[in-house]
Amino acid sequence: MTSFKAATRWMGVGVAGLMMAGAVQAGSHDHDHPDIVDTAVAAGQFETLVAAVEAAGLVDTLKGEGPFTVFAPTDEAFAALPEGTLDELLMPENLETLQAILTYHVVAGKVMAEDAMGLESAETVQGQAITITTENGSVMINDATVIQADIEASNGVIHVIDGVLLPE
């Protein structure tokens, strides 16, 4: 179970890193808000994601200009992964897989919840599309539910999700 928690932490970190990387690519900073990485760290519910982003070497990217939209799994979402998954992903030999998972949580541009509700899908930084649906007033990203939307950062926006997105 400990290895699973560690793996989920690293996966989350990777996502944060991907988010940051996208943020570096375009746009300007809003000095009223910290960047995506600092916002995730301050929130306190993304320790696993931040650790994964660090392990994946994506922190500088997610601290970049952006803008990026990050669908950020909570620590609880990572804890729900099968036992051993997170630990395996955090191994150096699985760096590319970790980066792919994390970048699958990032969309280029700043997509606020109201705009996302009008979309059926969005292309991720990883290259595959995520599916966006609205069910019973909730926005779903693939099989994960958005539990908190529109957390603004200087280089994008974070939407909190209750599951870890896995590319095909």
Cis peptide before 34 (omega within 30 of 0): no
23 Cβ contact partners less than 8 Å away, ≥ 6 residues apart: 35, 36, 61, 62, 63, 64, 65, 66, 67, 68, 153, 155, 156
**pLDDT tens for the chain, residues 1 to 168:** 333 333 333 344 334 333 333 333 333 444 578 999 999 999 999 999 999 999 999 999 999 999 999 999 999 999 999 999 999 999 999 999 999 999 999 999 999 999 988 899 999 999 999 999 998 888 999 999 999 999 999 999 999 999 999 998
93 Cβ contact partners less than 8 Å away, ≥ 6 residues apart: none
By the 8 A CB rule, do 47 and 9 touch? Answer: yes
What pTM was computed for the model? 0.81
- Per-residue pLDDT, 31: 55
